[in-house]
Each structure stands twice: as C-alpha cells, then as structure tokens.
Amino acid sequence: MISKIIRRTKISEWAYIVARVRVMKRKLIPEEEYPKLLNMDLNEIARYLEETEYKKEIDELAYRYSGVDLIDQALSLNLARTYRKLIRISKGLPKDLIVLYLRKMDYWNIKNVIRGKMFGFSDEEIEGTLIPAGEFDEEFFKSLIARESIEEIVEVFRGKPFYPILEKLLHGEKLSVVEDELDKFYYTSLARLSAESIDMKYFIDSIRMEIDITNVRTILRLKKEGATVEEIAGRIIPHGYQLSEDEARRLAAMDIDELVKSLEGYWFVDGVKEMIGTQPVSKIENMLTKNWAEKMLRKSHNYPLSILPVLAYMILKKVEVDNLRIIARGKESNMSVDEIKEQLVMV
C-alpha cells in the first residue's frame, strides 16, 4: 500500500499538513511562560491552562476531577485529540506515515493497562494514563481495562503480530522485559520499511534516530540497575541511525569511564557525556530528549516539505505535556521550584 501512495504523493499534500502544523506549533506554551507556571499553585495552573489550547479539556473534565487529577486527565485527553487531529487533517503518504508513527501510542496504552492491572490501580487511574491515538480507540481500551485478569487482556490480542511477546507474561516473564520487547517490535517494524522515496527516507531516518536515543537510555538505565551485559544486549533495538546494534552491545559491555569516551562523535552526545556517572539517569534521559527534539527541529527547517516538521511538532507537543504534568505532580508533592525545574525538558 505504501509503495502505491509514494508514487502518487503530491507536494500539495505535504504543503497542506505542514501549514496546519505550523499554526498548531505556534500555540505551544513558550519557554518564557514556565517560570510563571513554576510559581503557581495547582488551581492557578488549571486556570492558566483554561486560557490555552487545553481549555476544552479542562472545562470538560472539571465536573469530575480537581487539582492534579484534573490537570493530568486534561493533558492526556488533549494530547490524544491533537494526535488524532493530525491524522484527520492529513491524506495520502503524510497520513500513512503519521498513522504508522502513532502505533507507538497503542503499545504505550497496552503497557499502561497491563501495568495498572498488575499493581492494583483503579480503572479510572489507568484510564488517566491512556493516550488513545493509534489503531485502537478509547472505547477499545475501556473494554480492555474492564477485563478481570492479565490472561484475559493478553488473549484479546491473539492473532496480532505482537501477541507472542505479550504471551510471555503468562509464562512468568518480567513486565519490564515484555515492555522493552514491545518497543523493539515497534521500532524494528518501522526501521525495516523500504526507503523507496526521499519522503520515506526522512521518516525511516527519524525512526532510527529515535532508536539511538532509546538504546542509550536502555543501556544507562539497566547499568544503573545492575543488569548483566547479556541482559542489556538482549534488549538493544537494531537498526539505529548512528549507533549500530553491534556498537550498542559494545557500549553495554563497557564500564562507565570507557562508555563516556566511546560516545564521542555521536549526534546525541551534546551535554550528555558530562552527566554520565555524576547525574541521575532521569536527568540524562531529559538531556537526550532535548537533543533529539532539537535535532528534529533543525532537520525540519532544512526539509520543510516532508514528514519532519510533523514529527518535530509531535515530539514538542509530547514534551510540553510531560513538562506540565511534572510541574503539576511536583506541586502536589510539595517539591521546591528548583527540584521541579531540574526535571523539565526545555527545547
């Protein structure tokens, strides 16, 4: 199907969706507004969001939720609607690539439903973590949450290509391993697509960049947790942009000092090397996200009539939602402004 669409893709299709995305991007909360948000309480943050693109969701949910729960739910709902809007306003190859990219939301939601069930969260709490913007809609995930057991949830996906991964949960595999395997399945299926046009090459290269970021995060996280080299190597995703599978496995076998030296020259390394071994993994992950978002923005400026401006916007929107959620949860936990600020990703 994709090859057929490639042959009849028109410049006008890219021009339209990119123009729409440019308007949507202008509505993101500017960086200079974050100091104000950091000095607000939860009610003030909710009122602030009522003056932004989140107004509809805040108003819609205010009768059911308050405080951090209201903000959390509104952010997730707005993100899902934003992503679905991108599908709705696109056509041809742009639409197909957006749909392919947003399959990651299906895996995100499946993981959250299973994790929530395993740890005894309420149905409402699980629903609040969902971003139904992929193949499966909100009603599907509500029906999934209503299932009584992990076995029933897994059975729903029998016949899907990723079913054998979920089935491992029924044979005692750790949830974290299954989650990483779902990520590997998602990224590998996209990275293996054929780059039959320059548009497809931009898309596949972007996916491969994301694989680089994911692999570095995996290596650092698992090293911190004391995983063996074999355990880390088994969770490396192939087809990276600059960091090949063999190179990633080699990094996994190094001690921290060697690893830092070996990262020299990679596209994602700015500001990261200095943090490894001295800063929490969460802060390093934030720097990786920042570098990834900035790289995508630069590439999108160089190739404006392509999927790159759309992907860059999607990344920036997710970063904004994550930042707002961190601020709200930090306020709820009585964290200091400086503590919250350290966890934000500013692009």
Residues 330, 321: contact at Cβ < 8 Å?
no
Residues 34, 323: contact at Cβ < 8 Å?
yes
At 194 the pLDDT is: 87
At 103 the pLDDT is: 95
Structure letter (DSSP) for residue 30: P
pLDDT digits (tens, 9 = 90+) for 277-315: 889 999 999 999 999 999 999 999 999 999 999 999 999
pLDDT digits (tens, 9 = 90+) for 257-281: 899 999 999 999 999 989 998 899 9
Of residues 308, 282, 326, 333, the one with CA closest to residue 101:
308
CA distance 308 to 312: 6
The pTM score is 0.93
Residues 76, 130: contact at Cβ < 8 Å?
yes
pLDDT digits (tens, 9 = 90+) for 47-92: 999 999 999 999 999 999 999 999 999 999 999 999 999 999 999 9
